[in-house]
Amino acid sequence: MRQSSLKSLWMLLAVCLFAPCRTACAASGDEPPRFEVPAASAGPLLFVAYGDTRFSKRDDIANASARRALVQRIAGEHPAAILIGGDLVYEGSSADDYETFKSETSEWAKQEIAVFPALGNHEFKGCTQDATPCLENWWTAFDSLPLRPHRWYSVTLGPTLLVIVLDSDAPLKPASEQRVWFETQLANTDSRVKFILITLHYPPVRDPIYPTMRDEKEIARYLGHKAGSLHAQVVVIGSHVHNYERYKKGGVTYLVSGGGGAKPVPAFRMFGELSKLKTSVNFHYVRFTLENDQLTGTMVRFDADDRTGNPWSEPDHFEIRAKR
C-alpha cells in the first residue's frame, strides 16, 4: 500500500475514534471520504443548509449582526448537521477569517454539531497564482474531517439521505475527475436511500440574470436525463447569489440559499421561481426535517431591520415525498 494511502487511513481512523460521537466515517484508499451522521433515536432528523456567511472581522463585506443572529438561531435548532454551501469566509488566504468562523460558531462546537462545508470562490480569494495556501486553511479549519487532499466528498444523514458535496470551482464536465466520481455516487447509491441532496456553491438553476460561473449547469443537464431513473428524490442546493430562490425542474428541486450574511443582492423571481417572496433582502437558512417518506424544507428568515422585536419568520415551506 502506498504511503499516502496509509496516511489517509490513519487520519480516517483517528477521526473516527476521537471525533464527536454524532459523526462516524467511512472511506477507502485515496477515494474522497464518506461521513456518516446517525439518525436520531426518536423523532425526525433535522439538519440545516445555507451559505455565503463570509466570516471575517471586516465590517464592510457582510452584515455581521445578521450572520451572528443566524448562527445563534441555528444552534437553537440543535440540528444533527449543518451544510454550508461555500463562501464560509471572506478571504480564503486569511487564517484570521477562519478563526472568526471558529469563534462565532463556538456554540456549534460545544454542541458537537457536525458541519460539512463546500468550497466557494471566496475560499480561493487571495490565492490567485496558487490555490494551495487557501486549501490548506480550509482543510486545517475542518481538521476533524479527514478531507485533505480532497475537495469533494459525501455524507449520509441517517440511512435514507445521501448528501453529495461538490466543488463547483473544479471541473464538472463529462469525464472530469469530479464528474466521474459524482456519477459513480449516483450509480452506487444504497437502495435504502430515499433522498439525494447535492450541495455546491454555484447554483445550477437560478435567476438567469446572474451568469453561469463554471460548470455548474452540467449538473442540471445531467440530472435532466438521469433523475427520473433514480430510485431517490433529488434536491440541489447552491449559494453564491445572496438571496433565496426555489425551482422545480425535471422532477428535481433546486434551491438558492446564499443569505448567510453577505451583502444582499436582488432576486427578480421570474422564470418559474416558486417561493414568490416579496422581500428583497433575505438573510436566512433552510431547515430540513426528514421523517419516514417525507423531506420538509422551511426557509427561516431574519429581518435585520426589524423594529417589532420579532425579526424571525418562515415565509417559504415545501414538502418532497419519496418515490414509491
Distance CA 138, CA 228 (A): 35
Instruction: Identify the pLDDT of residue 271.
Output: 84
Domains of the chain, start order: 3-321 (3.60.21.10)
Q: Which amino acid is at 103?
A: S
Query: What values do phi and psi take at 302, rounded to 5?
Result: -115, 125
| Grid cell for residue 9 | 487511513
Instruction: Identify the pLDDT of residue 25.
Output: 55
Q: Which residues, 6+ apart, have CB-to-CB distance to 52 below 8 Å? A: 85, 86, 87, 120, 239, 240, 242, 258, 259, 260, 261, 262
Q: What is the pTM of this model?
A: 0.91
**pLDDT digit of tens for each residue in the chain (324 aa)?**
444 444 444 444 344 433 443 454 555 558 999 999 998 777 899 999 999 999 999 989 999 999 999 999 999 999 999 999 999 999 999 999 999 999 999 999 999 999 999 999 999 999 999 999 999 999 999 999 999 999 999 999 999 999 999 999 999 999 999 999 999 999 999 999 999 999 999 999 998 888 778 899 999 999 999 999 999 999 999 999 999 999 999 999 999 999 999 999 988 888 899 999 999 999 999 999 999 999 999 999 999 999 999 999 999 999 999 998
* Residues pairing with 297 in the sheet: 288, 318
| Grid cell for residue 119 | 468550497
Q: Which of 194, 317, 175, 172 is nearest to 244 (CA)?
A: 317
Q: Residue 19's Cα: distance from chain center in Å?
A: 20
How many C-beta neighbours within 10 Å does residue 280 have?
A: 12
| DSSP at 123 | G
Distance CA 233, CA 170 (A): 25
Q: Which of 104, 110, 118 is nearest to 72 (CA)?
A: 104
Instruction: Identify the pLDDT of residue 23.
Output: 53
Q: Which residues, 6+ apart, have CB-to-CB distance to 59 below 8 Å? A: none
- Residue 116 and residue 163 in contact, taking contact as beta carbons nearer than 8 Å: yes
